Amino acid sequence: MKANEDRSARLVSHIMAITIANILASCATSSPVAPVPPPISTAAPISQAKPAQESSPAPRIQVVKASWYGHALAGHKTTSGEPYNPEGLTAASKTLPLGTVVKVSNPENGKSVKVRINDRGPFVRGRSMDLSHHAAKALGIVHKGITRVEVQKLTSPSAVSTDGTASPQPNIEEADNAGDKDKVEH
């Protein structure tokens, strides 16, 4: 009988050791983390003389993971100091300067929208942009929550105008050369 008790005790010890090892192993593993994209430079490029027949390079498009924030934060101050408006065409970016206007496109459906960066974030690893609810709706990504989007910088904020006074933050209408009041492209 003593031998059976010893055998049972060893079996229980082995099962406990295996269970603890599995728990520790599952805690130690993590999913791969997407690298944070490099910041978009706001410095003017060094100009070099180019032959007249060369065309200018295509605008730089960055593919990033974006999410959106909705009505729960309505009225809270953004980093720029303005209240968050879920029905505005704005976004938060970790790297783009405040006031920058970008074109955000959903490569899955071809929809795009122009938004102005007015906040910092998102503060979640692997994501680079938080869109307003209206911008996410225009892109058709509200139901997904998080998706990959293409971001193309259209305008940069200028700190000082030519007369030395502070210039206002650019708005979406300034970036929209066609004057489209809807500001959403399909």
Written in H, E and C, the secondary structure of 35-90 is CCCCCCCCCCCCCCCCCCCCCCCCCCEEEEEEEEECHHHCCCECCCCCECCCCCCE
pTM of the shown model: 0.57
The residues that bridge with 112 in the sheet, in sequence order, are: 105, 185
DSSP state letter for 26:
H
Task: Look at residue 56 in the predicted model and tell me its pLDDT.
Answer: 54
H/E run at residue 174 = helix 172-175
Reduce the DSSP state of residue 123 to 3 states and report it.
coil
| Fold that domain 61-185 belongs to in CATH | Barwin-like endoglucanases (2.40.40)
DSSP state letter for 167:
P
For the chain, the structural domain boundaries read 61-185
Q: Could you list the pLDDT tens digit for every one of the 186 residues in the chain?
A: 676 777 888 888 888 878 776 676 666 555 555 565 555 555 555 545 455 555 556 678 999 999 999 889 999 999 999 999 999 999 999 999 999 999 999 999 999 999 999 999 999 999 999 999 999 999 999 999 899 999 999 998 874 344 444 344 444 433 333 333 344 444
